[in-house]
Structure 1
């Protein structure tokens, strides 16, 4: 027997639901809010609110008091909160599958950039600290190991 699957066309929700691991990343949110129009984000928020209401989930978001005009990032964050709430309640399978009729994807290269010099520096620092620890342990060793200690003190770790 075929499984009944609801499909809903919404590009923003399709993009967000397929990139769930990045939803707490500010760079991801900024890229998405810059890429999608205010109308697209508003439509996504309206749709996810409607779908959550159909699931009869109690929504108690603490909404900060402030200006009534919301920008795209605020609306996108609220949309993400709704998606997170559904996932937290383990009701993701009850939502329709969000698809895109004309998939446009923001550039997310900046999320995946690594600072290799910083990583190299961190590794060198960790290895140096381990070397100092080992040297201090060998200093506490009996005299038999003193000649080995002198050899290790004269060598430095280089990457």
Structure 2
């Protein structure tokens, strides 16, 4: 099954778990630009937690940087945006599937620690507000519980055509 309900140690419902096959139905991104592998928690209209497994097989590591591979910071922000896009579709329903999400702004962006092959990014996104087709989010990316990047960003959701 592609979606399950996750529970914490106390048995509290943490929301849906969304696997890669469902993510591909929800958002238009594809390899090599699909930057979220799984969403392990989503609470419609509130928050989501996505996972990006960083591997040495990522094409950008050939040049960023060959002697010390570092996951590009802008792609961490993109991972946040794609996780937020899953949250938007989960909130709005199937009518929002496949819509394009365009960045409008990125603010207060900070990169705290480098991310490299073998790391697992836990991408926490929180909806701050929405009005019409404009949504604002706060995102945090963590590796092993340590904050590696954070940003506030706004996006506009539009039809593909």
Determine which structure has more spread, i.e. the larger CA radius of gyration. 1
Q: Under a length normalisation based on structure 2, what TM-score does the superposition of the two structures give?
A: 0.24
The answer to which structure, 1 or 2, has the higher relative contact order (CA under 8 A, 6+ apart) is 1
Give TM-score scaled by structure 1 length: 0.24
More helix by proportion, 1 or 2? 1
In proportion to residue count, which structure has more strand?
2
